[in-house]
Structure formats: C-alpha cells, structure tokens
Amino acid sequence: EAQVTQNPRYLITVTGKKLTVTCSQNMNHEYMSWYRQDPGLGLRQIYYSMNVEVTDKGDVPEGYKVSRKEKRNFPLILESPSPNQTSLYFCASSLAATGAGETQYFGPGTRLLVL
C-alpha cells in the first residue's frame, strides 16, 4: 500500500530532551516536507526537500533540523524542544521535485507535547 508513515504517533517529552520524528514514504517520491498544525494557524511548512541531500527552510524552521540521506526517509529533529513546539506534525511527499501542482500525500500525524 502506497503511504507515508510517521513515528511515533504520540510523544510526551520534557524541555531540552532531543527527539526525532521519523517519516518514510514508499512511493519513490522526490519531494518531502514537514508541517506543523496549530489551532487558528493552520498548516505551516517547517522544512522541505526536493531530493536526497537537498533541503530548504519553510516558513517556521527555527528550532528544527532535517536530513535527507535516503530518498524514502525524511526525519525531523528537535535538538532542544521547548513548550512552544507542542503541536501536531505532518510529513508529506509528492512525486515531482518541485511539488507544484502535485498531489501531496500526508502521513497520519505526530502529536507532540513538550512539558
């Protein structure tokens, strides 16, 4: 089944404790992206990647890191999480490198609470 998977789905952590949220897609997609979703603010793009080893900042990259060492994986790293990073996180992928006009497939989401 073609899908985007994220792990973990739920995570409670404390301020300053490094964490990684994994994202994997099995559709051989070029483009991958991370979003956070907050009430009243909608989805905001954190980072995106057009291909292996090619990443760029979205609208809200502060406090996050990403890497794209393999085409299928795009982990999101929070080096020192803070309470304002409490949010619902989505990973997405699309076939084309640009993402323009392409269908983005979203993962099921990761709900993060930082105490």
Partner 1 sequence: QKEVEQDPGPLSVPEGAIVSLNCTYSNSAFQYFMWYRQYSRKGPELLMYTYSSGNKEDGRFTAQVDKSSKYISLFIRDSQPSDSATYLCAMNDNYGQNFVFGPGTRLSVLP
Site for partner 1, rule CB under 8 A: 4, 31, 33, 35, 40-45, 48, 50, 56, 58-59, 90, 92, 96, 98-104, 106-109
Compute the distance between CA of residue 47 and CA of residue 65 in angstroms, rounded to an integer. Answer: 8
Q: Which is nearer to partner 1, 85 or 93 (CB)?
A: 93
CB of 76 to partner 1, least distance (A): 15
Q: Which is nearer to partner 1, 37 or 86 (CB)?
A: 37
Nearest to 96 by CA among 3, 28, 5: 28
Q: Which is nearer to partner 1, 73 or 104 (CB)?
A: 104
CB of 14 to partner 1, least distance (A): 25
CB of 60 to partner 1, least distance (A): 11
Q: Which is nearer to partner 1, 44 or 65 (CB)?
A: 44
- Residue holding tokens 């997609």? 29
Q: Which residues of 46-56 are buried (b: 16+ CB within 10 A; e: fewer)?
A: bbbbbeeeebe
Nearest to 48 by CA among 60, 39, 38, 63: 60
